[in-house]
Structure 1
Amino acid sequence: MKSGKLPALLVVLAVAYFLTSLGHFTHNAEFICEYPNLPASFTSARIYAAWAAITSVGVLGFFLLIGKKWIATGLVLVAAYAVLGFDGLGHYALAPFEWHTRMANVTILAEVVAAALLLSATVYQLVARLRQPASI
């Protein structure tokens, strides 16, 4: 990230993860009965609230990146946001893959793939940043 400019790939991958995450959470909230063995405490409202909380981590990370003052911290928050995308795999701890509908599996797996790509790009940027010599 030279001169504080956001790499286009990082932005594209963040948007892709944002959209796949929104798609999964929306499908989960609107078709909650199609997700086997979810706890009764899971409601549509709670699912949307969880998505908003998770997304706020990424939004805060990007605000820090755009501000150019806390770039490493912003990258760590974006990485944390991406890691949260693996939580969808928890559906398979509650019920096997074949018990889920095709669309549920598509939204879960799309979110996980997008999260993995964003995490990879973010860690790459963070490592590159940390390897830069300190400026005086």
Structure 2
Amino acid sequence: MRTAQLPKVLLALTAAYFLTSLGHFSHNAEFICEYPNLPAWLTRAQVYAVWAAITSVGATGLLLMRKRFMATGLLLIAVYAALGFDGLGHYAVAPLELHPLLANVTILSEVAAAALLLPVALWLLVLHMLRNKARIQQP
């Protein structure tokens, strides 16, 4: 089976989100005691495990796209991007001003990267589906 060429903009935005997510989760894990009102039972290892689980969604999406399962892959990339908004949950337990500056920078940069990736993934998914529909309807 031949592999598909992935759109460069999608790869670039996925890489940007991956890096900002890694930055946020790493900061969260290493400075967990500086994040206000997080549950006492939450550990550094658990933070990294959650990051690995979230990242596996995106990695699976890219792999599926590479293997030409475009719709499923793009859907998983969109889910991966949507998970980037979960960082805003930090502000549900404590307001922005109670978080250290670097925590806010990592949280908001992850959210910004996710906000750029999500519409691109959804747009590419819609285009893919429309192309397939047009192909099916041709006589």
TM over 0.5: yes
Write out aligned runs for 1:69-88 (5 A).
70-88=69-87
User: Aligned equivalents of 1:82 and 1:41: distance in 2?
Assistant: 27
Report the TM-score when normalising by structure 2.
0.92
Instruction: Name which one, 1 or 2, has greater alpha-carbon Rg.
Output: 2
| Percent identity over paired residues | 60
Q: CA deviation at 1:134?
A: 2.9
| Structure 2 partner of 1:117 | 116
Paired residues, what number?
133
**1:35 matches 2:35:** yes
Q: CA deviation at 1:131?
A: 1.1
| Structure 2 partner of 1:61 | 61
User: Aligned equivalents of 2:9 and 2:44: distance in 1?
Assistant: 32
SS in 1 for 2:14: helix
Poorly superposed stretches of 4+, deviation over 2 Å:
none
RMSD of aligned alpha carbons: 1.3
Where structure 1 has 5 or more consecutive residues not aligned to the other structure, the ranges are none
User: Aligned equivalents of 2:135 and 2:53: distance in 1?
Assistant: 34
Instruction: Summarize deviations over 1:10-31 as a string: whole Å, max 9, x none.
Output: 0000000000000000000000
Report the TM-score when normalising by structure 1.
0.94
Where structure 2 has 5 or more consecutive residues not aligned to the other structure, the ranges are none
